[in-house]
């Protein structure tokens, strides 16, 4: 009974807090530009409106057009449940859970691309091709970062891997994971979530034909993914295991807020990269995580 209540509480944290991050990013961008900007709770309003709308489907689409966003949302939420929350630990922890986390993230990407291909749209197919091609390098960086943490802690369990900091390679790992966060969440300089030009979009072009609850699931899943990567970045760098429970919780919340503000500043101060330069930046992220792995290896 207690475990069920804890699981429901964790789900509520992920479900309710995740849409707050895009609102903070948009507010930071508006502040830098000298504008008032949308409310911080704007995504909550958008999700509530989308859940009340109907679904418009292409005549070429199969049931996978609806199932794709649903499965992707469930996969992201399952990955979030595996992620420890500082002093609260993890609701579901076992040896090798980090491998399941990586596969769940890959499953969510596959389902999103699958649903995009269901429409028969050339633009959505182009966006799906770009998404999976960049994901090859992004996933390599994630795996290198996971290996660095695993070598440092000699464990493949997220609770153990994220308790101490990354040690001497923490700065390298932080830079690499932050770059991966921008790429995985389709933020500037990799993608612009506010653009509406099909030829220059990556992730956004894949959801052009979605509407109603499926689009709400996609938008909410994207916010959950952003929160998940922010929590992973903070716990990989900040030694929360050495702090008391209240201080660790405050450090985790403050770290997530700092990462979110950092994303907003990056989007305000940098321009989007040309497509040919995106692989170079992702390769740099992979090398940063690889160097962190080598530092952990030599440190041990």
Q: Which two tokens stand for residue 253?
A: 């919340």
Q: What 3-state class would DSSP assign to 210?
A: coil
Instruction: With a cut of 70, list the residues of the chain below it in pLDDT.
Output: 1, 166-167, 196-200, 299-300
How far is CA 86 from each of CA 112, 236, 244, 247, 252, rounded to the nearest angstrom? 30, 11, 10, 10, 7
Burial grade of 125 (CB within 10 A; 0-12, 13-18, 19 or more):
middle
Q: pLDDT tens, 53-64?
A: 999 888 888 899
CA distance 110 to 282: 19
> How many domains does the structure of the chain reveal?
1
Q: Which two tokens stand for residue 45?
A: 């309003």
Per the CB < 8 A criterion, the answer to whether 147 and 293 are in contact is: yes
Per the CB < 8 A criterion, the answer to whether 300 and 294 are in contact is: no
Burial grade of 191 (CB within 10 A; 0-12, 13-18, 19 or more):
buried
User: How high is the pLDDT of residue 122?
Assistant: 83
Per the CB < 8 A criterion, the answer to whether 286 and 208 are in contact is: no
189 cis-preceded (ω within 30 degrees of 0): yes
pTM tops 0.75 = yes
User: How high is the pLDDT of residue 299?
Assistant: 62
CA distance 247 to 249: 5
Which residues constitute the domain of residue 116? 2-299
Q: pLDDT tens, 82-100?
A: 999 988 888 888 999 999 9
Q: Which one, of 134, 209, 188, lies nearest residue 25 by Cα?
A: 188
User: How high is the pLDDT of residue 87?
Assistant: 82
User: How high is the pLDDT of residue 261?
Assistant: 97
Per the CB < 8 A criterion, the answer to whether 299 and 60 are in contact is: no
- What element of type H or E holds 136? helix 122-153
């Amino acid at each position: 009974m207690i475990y069920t209540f804890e699981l429901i509480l964790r789900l509520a944290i992920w479900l309710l807090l995740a849409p707050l991050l895009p609102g903070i990013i948009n507010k930071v961008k508006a502040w830098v530009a000298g504008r008032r900007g949308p409310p911080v709770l704007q995504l909550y309003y958008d999700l509530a409106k989308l859940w009340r709308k109907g679904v418009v489907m292409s005549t070429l689409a199969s049931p996978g057009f609806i199932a794709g966003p649903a499965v992707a949302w469930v996969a992201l939420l399952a990955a979030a449940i595996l992620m420890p929350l500082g002093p609260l630990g993890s609701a579901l922890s076992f040896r090798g859970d980090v491998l399941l986390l990586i596969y769940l993230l890959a499953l969510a990407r596959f389902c999103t691309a699958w649903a995009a291909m269901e429409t028969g749209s050339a633009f959505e197919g182009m966006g799906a091709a770009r998404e999976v091609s960049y994901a090859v390098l992004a996933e390599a960086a994630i795996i290198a970062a996971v290996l660095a943490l695993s070598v440092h802690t000699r464990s493949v369990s997220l609770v153990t891997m994220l308790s101490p900091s990354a040690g001497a390679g923490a700065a390298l790992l932080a830079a690499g994971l932050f770059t991966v966060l921008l790429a995985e969440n389709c933020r500037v300089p990799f993608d612009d979530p506010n653009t509406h030009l099909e030829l220059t979009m990556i992730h956004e072009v894949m959801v052009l034909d979605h509407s109603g609850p499926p689009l709400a699931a996609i938008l909410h899943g994207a916010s959950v993914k952003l929160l998940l990567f922010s929590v992973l970045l903070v716990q990989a760098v900040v030694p929360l295991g050495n702090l008391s429970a209240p201080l660790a919780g405050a450090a985790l919340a403050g770290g997530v807020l700092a990462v979110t503000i950092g994303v907003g500043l990056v989007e305000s101060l940098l321009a989007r990269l040309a497509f040919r330069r995106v692989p170079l930046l992702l390769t740099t992220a992979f090398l940063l995580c690889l160097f962190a792995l080598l530092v952990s290896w030599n440190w041990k």
